[in-house]
Chains A and B, each alone.
Chain A
Amino acid sequence: MKNSDWPLWEVFVRSKQGLNHKHVGSLRAADAEMAIENARDVYTRRSEGISIWVIESKNVHASDPSDMDSLFEPANTKVYRHPTFYDVPDGITHM
């Protein structure tokens, strides 16, 4: 990487008030201000958003896909965490 190459940023867009910011992609920019301006041009050309977050990609830490089983398998065996696990007598409607 040369000195003039810009760092990579991850872009998150809130599509409308009341919804969360969602990852839409990445881009390169010299600083945060330029990253937001570029994100406006690259990811919201058709009114896709009302708010943008940018985070330098090097600051994102991710789980390792090979740890998927040990991280997420325990939840699969705990069906009692879902309401459908329980028997409710007929006639009970709002529970």
Chain B
Amino acid sequence: MAPYETILPQLYEILKPFAQDGQTLSDETELVADLDLDSMKVMEILLEVEERFDISIPLNVIPDVRTIRDFARQIEQLTEHHS
């Protein structure tokens, strides 16, 4: 299981290329509203996260992910199931 504190910085690193100019990412940053991610970009990010953490993210959990914090919590749970 990867703890939340170690997941968060890795998630920032993956999401940084999608941030707007000068935008600072925090765990409250909203993926769609703040980063303006379309469905294609979301899928691209999911694939990268899956590779990084060696998990499969079910499509069912995506509607529950609004902020970077939600995303990190989901990854934490999925790595827990996997370990």
A binds B: no
| A residues whose Cβ falls under 8 Å from a Cβ of B | none
| B residues whose Cβ falls under 8 Å from a Cβ of A | none
